[in-house]
Amino acid sequence: MNSRLDKHHLLLSLVVPVFNEQETIDFFIEKISSVFSQEEQLTVEMIFINDGSTDETLERLIKRQQTDQRIKIVDLSRNFGKEAALTAGLDIASGEVVVPIDVDLQDPPELILEMIQLWREGYEVVLGKRVNRSSDHWLKRVTASWFYRIHNKIASPKLPVNVGDFRLMDRCVVDAIKKLPESHRFMKGLFAWVGFKTACVDYVRPERIAGSTKFNGWKLWNFAIEGLTSFSTAPMRTWIYIGFLVAFPSFIFSIFILFRVLIFGIDVPGYASIMVAVTFLGGLQLIGIGVLGEYLGRTYMESKRRPIFLIRQIY
């Protein structure tokens, strides 16, 4: 029998990054209290990582902490981004099982009880998998679909489709992630990279309980680039083939021009054809330099070995 079935008490750490979420905090805490109120064999700690909020998020958390000792607040020195905030939460979490979860309640806390049951059956990672993306607008659904397809074709390991950060992780998984040293972190990729025995729980993602998302199209685009370049060198390698496809027809055309000049005399090229060739090749070169620059920039930033985040205070 799995030893986990014999455990009479379990410490669950909820890792909750927050950035300007003053409108959702009370709803979230009340929901957590409601879901786990009858679980006598389960202790919950809520680790809120305040990622440089400029509204009253921190003040509301401190006020709630005065009457709820399950709340721990990690106040970062500035906004470092959600990936860094997740990393901070995983470093602080002390539970036997750890669950990153969004404060907007789009990740249903009720699902955690089902995840714990699968954990007791021997799974070390239990993913929350969205069965559809009906709560997202059309463009986000399409671009998300493209991202997963492209990433899983060119990168390794493959990302589980329609799975976000919401998942249950055993302590051994969290300890493995904490050993990964990179500064620029794509957490979905790191979660997939460490592996371990995995199960899935399907759910339909509801609308936000309050407030608005802090991700816009530009941030999502940069996030996608971060994911593709973190776990694949294929974008760089692609330019070898693009260069060949451009150079080979140019070589054949130059031979054709040489023979035509030798047979028919001097050929005066047209201005339009020259401009098309120059601008086309110039554009390809700039794109290629941009791809190389992306990887070089990542190498440069990693070489500095700056900390992923800085903590101003822990409450």
Q: How far is CA 118 from CA 30, 107, 142, 202, in A?
A: 25, 18, 31, 13
> Tell me, what DSSP letter sits at residue 70?
T
Q: Give the per-residue pLDDT at 74.
A: 92
CA distance 99 to 89: 10
Picking from 153, 176, 169, the residue whose alpha carbon sits closest to that of residue 98 is 169
> Tell me, what DSSP letter sits at residue 40?
T
Q: Is 251 exposed, middle or buried (0-12, 13-18, 19+ CB in 10 A)?
A: exposed
Picking from 283, 286, 288, the residue whose alpha carbon sits closest to that of residue 239 is 288
> Tell me, what DSSP letter sits at residue 120?
H
Q: Give the per-residue pLDDT at 228.
A: 62
Does this model's pTM top 0.75? My answer is no
Q: Give the per-residue pLDDT at 153.
A: 72
Q: Give the per-residue pLDDT at 13.
A: 92
Q: Give the per-residue pLDDT at 175.
A: 92
Query: 25-36 vs 57-65: helix axis angle to the nearest 10?
Result: 30
Picking from 115, 118, 98, 110, the residue whose alpha carbon sits closest to that of residue 44 is 98
Is 302 within 8 Å of 182 (Cβ atoms)? yes
Q: Give the per-residue pLDDT at 6.
A: 54
Amino acid sitting at position 282: G
CA distance 174 to 125: 10
Q: Give the per-residue pLDDT at 22.
A: 86
Q: How far is CA 288 from CA 9, 43, 150, 151, 226, in A?
A: 56, 53, 19, 19, 17
Query: 187-194 vs 217-230: helix axis angle to the nearest 10?
Result: 30
Give rounded-to-5 percent helix, strand, coil for the chain. Answer: 50, 15, 35
The CATH code that applies to domain 8-139+162-215 is 3.90.550.10
What angle is formed at CA 88 by the lines to CA 106 and CA 102, rounded to 5 degrees?
5
How many Cα atoms are found within 13 Å in the side-chain-facing hemisphere of 40? 0
Q: Give the per-residue pLDDT at 1.
A: 41
Counting as low any pLDDT under 50, the low residues of the chain are 1, 271
Residue ranges of the alpha helices (H) in the chain?
Answer: 25-36, 57-65, 82-92, 110-120, 138-154, 171-178, 187-194, 217-230, 234-264, 271-304
Q: How far is CA 314 from the centre of its chain?
A: 25
